Chains A and B, each alone.
Chain A
Amino acid sequence: MILEQTPDKSRKISWSYILLGISIVTIILFTLAPILWQVLTSVKTNEDISAIPNVYLPHKITLQHYLELFERRPFWLYIFNSALVSIVSTILCLLLGSPAAYALARMKLRGETIILVLIAVVTLFPYALLFLGVLEIIKNLGLGNNYLALIIPYTAINMPLTILVMRSFFRQLPQDLEDAAKIDGYKTISMLTAIILPMTLPALVTTGILTFIFAWNEYIFALTFITEETMKTVPVATAQLGGASLFDIPYGAIAAATILGTIPLVILVLIFQRRIVQGLTAGAVKG
């Protein structure tokens, strides 16, 4: 009986190990293959790109497509635009969102439940339902082809997440701290800047990474509100990289642009994986 059971059990374990191994390899392949293919395409010569059957590993590695982006197009400007709009809107979002989150976490405002429900509901609004109205606001304010035409909407679309993540953070802070500060004679605002703010730095970084990612990736507003070539962001500029004709699509240049446009985000994920997960779950689940 015992003799029979032992080999059976070990075989069962090794099978589940093999299954786990296969799943892990599949997950990695499924995740990385499309990105890897873009990397390969971006360094292939045009002959290799248009070879049939496909050439998988480039015969010759070339940086021609990358150079083309900077020589024939103002790609560094697109990167600058994306960075500027994302960074400024992230800062604004933290600056305006954190006080709001604190008020909703601690100050027992009348009507706070309604506001929280409202914040949760607007996160579900697709941007395609908003661009028409926002376009009108931008026209009325004369902000067409102005960075503010992106900075203001981006700050707003990241506001619900900022408030929900920061609020869940503030609620974890010990209330004693604030009570002690009050006894020491601090007013709410000065207590926030002198005592609470230094403690919130980790949460601000977590939130800021998420808002930066969302701002960098935004497409429909950037497509609609900015038509000036030199003010376009990376996603829009990349999508509009066309050739002279339908048959002259610059696949290599597009691949190079996708790599350049995604590298900042890949680096962020590699460094801040834990924070991204924390922020997302705090925003989605606890909020």
Chain B
Amino acid sequence: MSEKNENGLRRQDEEAQLECGEPGRDEAARVERAMEAARRQEAAEHQPEEEKLRIGVYICRCGGNISDVVDVERVAETVRLIPGVATAKVHTFVCSDPGQQTISNDILEENLDRVVVASCSPFLHEQTFRGAVARGGMNPYLYEHVNIREQASWAHKHDPAGATDKAIRMIAAAVGKLHHAAPLEQIKLPNHRRALVIGGGIAGMKAAADLAGRGIRVLLVEVSERLGGRLNERGAVYPSERSGDELVADLERRVRRDPNIEVLVSSQVTAVSGFIGNFKVQVQPVRPDAKARVIDTTVGAIVMATGFRPYVPRNGEFLYKNEPCVVTMPEFIQLMRSVKPDARTLTFGKREIRKIAFLHCVGSRQLDGVHEPQPDGKLNTYCSRTCCTTILQQALTVRERFPQIEVFDFYRDIRTYGRGEEAYYTEASKSGVVFFRYNGEEPPRVESAPAGRRARDGAVSITVKDTLTWGEELTLGVDMLVLGTGMTPGPIEDLIGQMKLPTGEDGFLQEVHPKLRPVELSVNGVLLAGTAQGPMNIQETLAAAGAAAVKAAAMFAKDNVELNPYVAAVDLDLCRGEAQCVTQCDYDGALTMVPMEVGGEMVERAQVNAGLCVGCGACVAVCPHRAIDLNGWRLDQYEAMVDGIAADIPGHECAADLVSIH
């Protein structure tokens, strides 16, 4: 018992499904079905007839990522039978240039008017194929992307027949959707050629200086009193061993002198609204008594250069705060910087230091069951990237300046990966730094020395199972223990909440993709520079800032910002002004009620702000009159997709037998 639907495909019996429903609901369901049929009829009338459609389907082997599991030739043979499909081709990499060329050529030579590519995740290649389609002269939104890799070949690799059937059905759904597709145009928004850089550390200053160097105006906002950020506390930087102050001064000079840059210190960004090309931001002085005023302004792009916060150990973690001689790396660097140039000894709390230990991975590379979670319940599982070389640099400095001090280094893995960094390790070894290697599962134990023996043996003792000497347990007394503390995310919870910025499992801001869009956030027009994204050293931070600046510069090279047209649209014939959609909408300003004249009467109707709408569809779900829908993802398109999945394809006999996916 099945009937032909408007696509010419056979739909499974709907009556049978209704019988499963509760008796009281049947009548409502029947009414709903009748309404539904009417709507569909209406929708079908607006669409080109299917015989006129010429859909090209391109099925990707993805090298073998797809074709090792999915029988792609069979998929092509089968989908050719779906009404409207003019051609179906298999290619090893549709995303490659020849693959894309095939699509563009076919559009011209075979008069295709719709295209489906069945390949990987649209996240990777939807834009790629839209470009190929546009080069063929077709509206790029008459293109559908089907993910038969993550959703078929990878998900069902032990079930090739099922994966093949699923691929066919997914393509059938896309073809169904295309039967109801209308050409769409990108949304063009004005582009305010000015950037806001949040954070005046080296990342922020570098991004600001780079943009200003291209003639782009920048507002640079720093929360503290001075520019330079964490580098102000750093002293000499590796591997150049030049002064961090010099680096800060160099960048600050450029930032302060450039007429394109407006610098606001002791200021914070208190409000951000709007969208790419047109963000409204408010900047306020940190202290209300300051003379500075509240600034409301507009920028086209925002660079997040908010930096990191050094890890602060818990009280008692390796006796931190219990024993004054247990200090963090920033505290130790301050101590070293306070030493007079002619000092022969290093003293701390009036006591001469004879033995120093450095302990790696404090607050980094934490393991479940070994380390205590942070207050938020999470472990810092990541490597902080900079601590190893910093420790070795400091250890070497101690050995060079105070050769009488014995230096001990407790590490898990020495990660001197960067250019010029390995030399710190070899030099530290040569200079007599003694290394102990511990397993992450068994971190060293730190204990207070008994009162009577502190002067002789050192204030704290460190016990380690040393894997450099085949697991021997050693105990060592030292006068000072320096904790190699890592980086943690900066305190920007307010901005994260207000701007709806994504963070990763590690708490740092999360880029869209580490290789495809490494300095972009999922919020359009918001870019990432430096350690706000994760631990980086200075060279890497400067490079990341440049990479963020170049994306902003490219964006400002165009007169308009162009966005995908997948936003809500209101049908004013159906809207009754009940504002349920506005109540439901999560994005401030995306949907508002505006007064307008309808039938000689002033009424309020919903209006979409295309720049702010993210196309989530929450409004569509609540509208009782179906007066709001999403361009490119209309409800009739969803229905056509469901029909496509459920339909039997003539000639594809085995589909019904392949129950493994149902």
Is B truly associated with A?
no
